[in-house]
Amino acid sequence: MSKRKTLFIVLLFILLSYLGYNVVSKSQEKNAVTNSIKTIPDFSYATLNNTIFANNNLNPNLSTVFLYFNSECDYCQYEAQSIADSIDKFKDIQLIFISTEPADKIKMFSGQYNLNNKENIIFLNDNEDSFSKLFNANSIPFTLIYDKEQNLIKTHKGQLNAIGILRIVNK
């Protein structure tokens, strides 16, 4: 009986140590990602014309809003419609829509909401699914809002309408 008790205690200690290690390492990983997105991290994704769009293509005189979306997501559709309805208020903001979907689906989405062919709106294809890891985007829709100096103002999980985005940018 004593050997079983000792074995149980040893196994329990090993299990708790393992779980504790996992919690600490996940916390450290999350903190590292949080620190890495305080300013816009280096990125490079394909545009719908299959050219590369990276940090150096961002307009340094405008606030930047990244919108991680999926064309079949109802919340993403409402968000896009809200932006389309208020498009004139976004002249001083660059909107970067990014999705892991094929380029043709992204093109259909951008056309459906008449967001294509706008100078300050870019649609990007993340065919390697790296945006979610790089920007800690663990839900769809997911929005990151940066000021003109490329400092993070806000991250938002879930739908954020045009009024909400504008309120945050104009604080």
Say yes or no: 90 and 7 in one domain: no
Residues 55-84 have a mean pLDDT of: 92
Residues 6-34 have a mean pLDDT of: 67
SS3 139: coil
SS3 135: coil
How many domains, the chain?
Answer: 2
Whole-number Å distance between alpha carbons of 34 and 37: 6
Residues 18-26 have a mean pLDDT of: 67
Say yes or no: 119 and 99 in one domain: yes
Q: Are 122 and 96 in contact (CB under 8 A)?
A: yes
Residues 151-168 have a mean pLDDT of: 89
Say yes or no: 25 and 99 in one domain: no
Work out the pLDDT band at 123, boundaries 50, 70, 90. Answer: very high
Segments forming the whole domain that contains residue 31: 1-36
pLDDT for 34: 53
Whole-number Å distance between alpha carbons of 141 and 136: 12
Say yes or no: 58 and 29 in one domain: no
The string of pLDDT tens digits covering residues 34-59 is 555 688 888 999 998 889 999 889 98
pLDDT for 117: 85
Say yes or no: 9 and 56 in one domain: no
pLDDT for 24: 66
